[in-house]
Structure 1
Amino acid sequence: MSIGLWIALAVSAAVWAAPFVFVVLTSFKGPGEVNTSHAWELPKNWVWSNYSTATEVGDLWTAAGNSMLIAVIKVPLGLLLSAAAAFAIARIRFRLNMIVLIAFTVGALVPVQVTLGPLFITMLDLDLLDSRWGIILPYLAFGVPFQIFMLYGFFRAVPDELEEAARVDGASLWRQFWSIFLPLARPALAALFILDFVASWNEYAMATTLLQSQRNATVPLAVRSFSTQFGTDYGALNAFLVLSVIPVLLVFLIFQRYFVRGGFSGAIKS
């Protein structure tokens, strides 16, 4: 039984890693070698200059800085707002708490694509078009509902006795949230942090609609621009792709020990 599981794990890992290995190998090949060599063949001449081309010509550092700034502001702020809202819905007794939860759930189901037109007009009217806050605010609006839905189930699963003991000790609602429920939710928050960071880093539809200048471009927009200019230079293009995923890999490696524990922490408790 264990041998079968290890075989399945090895096959799954190989299938997952194959595209990334292909991209890494191609990133070290010159234009001529890309067209003549086998896809999985090691480069005959390792062309390290592809990476300097990606960073200098592709303006990668500017785009990565924009994406990082957006993610650093949006992800923690979104998680704090989501956790506070989920705590209020799950632990504060009021008549419309389920209706509020359903409203957030419906908000999480709205496709981004159908809102791009109204979103563009709204940001234009607010004079936030082509600005960092003009992209952070929509990211918050579309990310918070899903996070509330997941964290609601986690907070509902916390035993009532823990809340009652804190109330007897004189802890206010804010104290309960900050000192008891939030630390208990660290696995779920870490899992959501990874998912939200990856989603923010890779988001394309809203970014291409709301960001119009090169100085505010995020990584996906920089990849599009670079592929348009250097679409036939597959070595430099793949080097650009490799560099663009490194921050995401680092975030996952930092928080991965919480990911498995937190990934299923939001199951709804009836």
Structure 2
Amino acid sequence: MINTLQQAFRPIGSAKADPLLIILWLFLVVFAIVWIAPFVFIVFTSLKSNSIVMGSSAFSLPYPLEISNFTNAWERGNFATTAFNSALITIIKVPLGLFISAMAAYALSRIHMKFEKFFYLLILFGTMLPFQVMLAPIFQQVNAFGLINTYPGIILPYLAFGVPYQVFILYGFFSAIPKELSEAARIDGASHFTIFWRIFLPTSVPVLSALLIIDFVATWNEFAMGLVILQDPKMWTLPLGLMNFQGQFQSDYGQLNAAIIMTVLPAIIVFLMFQRYFVSGMTSGAVKE
């Protein structure tokens, strides 16, 4: 990376100057600024009082710091309850969905059975259905089971719409693993579950980490399905709590932006923890070695 930057920003008159690379880096810098600017605005506003927000520039440094915006927003918005609900739903749904998807992908890629291609295409068809058009049928089905305003009532639909995409990604990764590994283990007497647990799962850590990031962010930020199924305020997740807080305190800009930061912060932390696996994980299995 350092060598690339040095080559890119050599004097223009130099024989080794690369104008195209310079233009590319300038474009990336501008693009990064455009994406970072709104977040900087939210952070600065969350640390200002209303009087300072109304009387200063949007990107002026916050002084004095209004740290109380975070504590006041947390208490007034009842975010302790919504954060607990979001954390519980996400902690159950994300690992469970990845485990189910990994087992299904292993079965489809390594266990030969009748109509295996049909089952794979049937699962793949699930990735083509936008859940927005399924909200009414999902509500009727969940209501018929008596699961409205319950954790299973929201986790099960999340699993149903998350598993197909994960199976699609993991199937491609598992298919790229040499069959000799599983065949040798089978000859030694290992069961399919042992092969899956001791060989396939350890080798799929990068792709599982990438899927964990995507699934965590999608589940943590999901709004529409939660709005339909979780009607009791005591069962609301963070996005629903943020919507309610915005409706009540939309003129309190400091606390509103503090609530936004508290809502998205866990997703940012998870991404930073696993981001080094993200690119390698999403491209794993694309090319067989």
TM-score normalised by structure 2 residue count: 0.89
- Match in the other structure for 2:276: 257
Q: Kindly provide the CA deviation profile for residues 189-212 of structure 1, in whole angstroms up to 9, marking residues without a partner as x.
A: 000001000000000010000001
- Match in the other structure for 2:16: none
Name which of 46, 69, 76 aligns with 1:50. Answer: 69
Answer 1 or 2: higher relative contact order, Cα 8 Å, separation at least 6: 1
Cα distance between partner residues in 2 of 1:104 and 1:265: 21
| Max Rg structure | 2
Any gaps of 5 or more consecutive residues in structure 1? none
* Stretch moving more, 81-90 or 26-35: 26-35
User: What amino acid is aligned across from residue 61 of structure 1 in structure 2?
Assistant: A
* Stretch moving more, 45-54 or 64-73: 45-54
CA RMSD after TM alignment: 1.6
Name which of 196, 202, 214 aligns with 1:183. Answer: 202
TM-aligned CA deviation for residue 65 of structure 1: 0.8
Alignment of structure 1 residues 65-84 onto 2, 5 Å: 65-84=84-103
- Match in the other structure for 1:130: 149
Name which of 233, 238, 259 aligns with 1:214. Answer: 233
Cα distance between partner residues in 1 of 2:85 and 2:247: 20
Cα distance between partner residues in 2 of 1:223 and 1:264: 35
Name which of 16, 27, 31 aligns with 2:46. Answer: 27
- Contact kept? 1:188, 1:261, Cα under 8 Å: yes
Cα distance between partner residues in 2 of 1:249 and 1:173: 36
TM-aligned CA deviation for residue 221 of structure 1: 0.1
User: What amino acid is aligned across from residue 210 of structure 1 in structure 2?
Assistant: I
Cα distance between partner residues in 2 of 1:25 and 1:80: 40
Alignment of structure 1 residues 73-152 onto 2, 5 Å: 73-152=92-171
Cα distance between partner residues in 2 of 1:143 and 1:75: 9
3-state secondary structure, aligned to 1:228: helix
TM-aligned CA deviation for residue 7 of structure 1: 3.7
- Contact kept? 1:152, 1:268, Cα under 8 Å: no
Any gaps of 5 or more consecutive residues in structure 2? 9-21
Percent of paired sites with the same residue? 50
Alignment of structure 1 residues 184-199 onto 2, 5 Å: 184-199=203-218
Q: 2:249 aligned with 1:230, yes or no?
A: yes
TM-aligned CA deviation for residue 9 of structure 1: 4.0
- Contact kept? 1:191, 1:263, Cα under 8 Å: yes
TM-aligned CA deviation for residue 95 of structure 1: 3.4
- Contact kept? 1:154, 1:268, Cα under 8 Å: no
Task: Give aligned pairs, total.
Answer: 269
Name which of 146, 151, 157 aligns with 2:176. Answer: 157
* Stretch moving more, 114-123 or 137-146: 114-123
- Contact kept? 2:175, 2:285, Cα under 8 Å: no
Cα distance between partner residues in 2 of 1:155 and 1:169: 20
